[in-house]
Amino acid sequence: MSNPSATESPQELKLYVKTPKVYPREVDGRFSRLRVLAAWVLLGLFYVAPWINFGGTQIVLFDLPAREFHILGLTFWPQDFFMLALLMAIAAITLFFFTALAGRLWCGYACPQTVWTEVFLWMEKATEGPRNKRMRLDQGPWNAEKIRRKVTKQFLWIVFSLWTGITFVGFFTPIRELVPSIFTLEMGGWEVFWSLFYGFATYGNAGFMREQVCKYMCPYARFQSAMFDNDSLVISYDVERGEPRGKRAKNADREELNLGDCIECMGCVQVCPTGIDIRDGLQIECIACAACIDVCDEVMDKMGYPRGLIRYTTESALKGGKTRILRPRIFIYLGVLLALISLFSLVFFSRESVHVDVLRDRTTLYRMAGDQIENPYALKITNRTESTQRLILSATGLEGLVVVAPTDAIEVPAGEVSNRPITLALPDDAIGPGLHEIEIILMPEGSVETPSSDDEALAIGETRFFVPGGN
Amino acid sequence: MNVSENEINVPPPRPLIQRLGAILWPSFFAAGVATMVLFAFVDPIELAAISFPELEISRETGYAVAFLGFWLGNASACSFTWLLLRPRSRFHASTAERPRTTT
């Protein structure tokens, strides 16, 4: 058991190497322009959508305090949770489908982590300069210029993060009321908290963690390989064509020097936001942003070599085979996706037209009116149809149970929620004391008034009727 | 002598930020899902009425407290997993697993 290395062991704690900071070089090209376009569209949606009103309500508003989701003029309630779950399943399968087909499109173009990192990098470039300058600045001493540049960058980052946090909260609290409330210092406590929380998360993730989120935290990065096969689109370096790599003069004869097309300019390594060398092969760190394709194409153009030394390709194609797009994997994902979309449509279009929630009155359990026991309730009637509904109430479940108030029809405008107090009454000798299950039935006005038939009912609410103990 | 062996068998600890990320992020995500599922079925006001009726608890507070509570709970579980998964050889070199050679 004696082990001479035991004393050396604590030193091993120091072996860990700090992850070196990645300084991605700026790049221009087909794919980077596409990436910038995607960023504009996605961030545009995020920052602008809450400001758009439609018919008096925000176009996208997850009104948690009122427990209502407004999306594109439609209103959803917690009862619609099943639809939300279905939507998430659809989103997940869509992700799987596109991964199998075209690789990590999500990571490179659409993931919020990528998009916000790109914006933060843009601000870093605007304040600290291009890659080489940033590296020199970080290594150099803290002089006036460094302080000025760093402070400007932090200022931009922080303002942008705060605005991001406020916009995020604006999806949950009407943003047109939220933003003025900042200046009048009337913002709610939780709104301040969540704005700062989301702002800080943006700042930390996009400003500092960056590629580390993809490398160490992202679950998708870990399991996306399960969706991959030899026919999935990946970004790859053409080893056959590129090797042996080596520097050479522009007009040098490759054949004579016995070199491949890779001139070892290190461009692909410098532009990589995750700091890898794509020439080492497909790696889990690669987020498929295609920056290396752009920079390599540019170099190939300069050298007069054909483009595509690094390109979107598939394992099959690299091995000289043909890429099969239509393959079982694609059909399975597509099948599941279509099934889920059909199910969602079915649920969506068969949403109940009227929904009722019955809440017992919190303050008064019951009151006596002569020989009648009266129970007060609050009805929350949701009209999901596009027309005004006039509803007649009735109550079943106990012999002799009647609706005392209201006696005439309740009117609920299209797409609105109406809160109504109602009173039910029961003769005091009808049943023993306790809480008895009853149902409140809502029927369209003018229908046959038979409380027992559910056929005409637009909505049924379940609750209990309280009968006090006799003494 | 054994240094190279130890280097193979005892990977260096991950940087703090990775450890924190691996604990805080999955627990954050799971807390978000749990909060969503819980409040899809339960109104925080009704929950407050049966738990702390003497306190004025708004829906916003209900959502926030539940989310932060779930996060804390999940993060505790994740931290415990991390604790259990640390290679003991890092702290007790004598018990380091090394390739079975001669002894």
pLDDT tens series, chain A, 471 aa = 444 444 444 444 444 456 678 899 888 899 999 999 999 999 999 999 999 988 778 899 998 888 888 888 777 877 788 888 899 999 999 999 999 988 899 999 999 999 999 999 999 999 999 999 999 999 999 999 999 999 999 999 999 999 999 999 999 999 999 999 999 988 888 999 999 999 999 999 999 888 888 888 888 888 888 888 889 899 999 998 988 898 888 888 888 888 899 999 999 999 999 889 999 988 888 999 999 999 999 999 999 899 999 999 998 898 888 888 888 999 999 999 999 999 999 988 887 778 888 988 877 888 888 889 999 999 988 887 767 888 888 888 888 888 888 888 888 887 778 888 999 999 988 888 888 899 998 888 876 555 545 566 788 888 989 888 764
Cβ-Cβ contacts under 8 Å, B67 against chain A:
none
Asked whether the beta carbons of A109 and A35 are under 8 A apart, the reply is: yes
Tell how strand A417-427 and strand A310-313 pair up: unpaired
**CA A140: distance to chain centroid?**
40
Asked whether the beta carbons of A210 and A295 are under 8 A apart, the reply is: no
A212/B14 CB distance under 8 A: no
Residue A342 CB contacts under 8 Å (≥ 6 apart), including other chains? none
**B82 touching chain A per CB within 8 A:** no
> What DSSP character marks residue A17?
P
ipTM over 0.90: no
Interface probe with B: pick from A169, A217, A223, A363, most Cβ of B within 10 Å: A217
Q: Say how far apart CA A28 and CA A172 lie, in whole Å.
A: 37
**A18 touching chain B per CB within 8 A:** yes
**A91 touching chain B per CB within 8 A:** no
CB-nearest partner of B10 from A12, A64, A362: A12
Please give, rounded to a whole number of angstroms, the shortest distance from the CA of A440 to a CA of chain B. Answer: 20
**B36 touching chain A per CB within 8 A:** yes
Cβ-Cβ contacts under 8 Å, A382 against chain B:
none
pTM of the model: 0.76
Q: Virtual CA dihedral for A55, A56, A62, A63, nearest 10 degrees?
A: -140
Predicted pLDDT of residue A296: 95
**B2 touching chain A per CB within 8 A:** yes
Instruction: Kindly state the tokens that stand for A238.
Output: 């053409």
Find the helix or strand (DSSP H, E) in which A148 lies.
helix A144-169
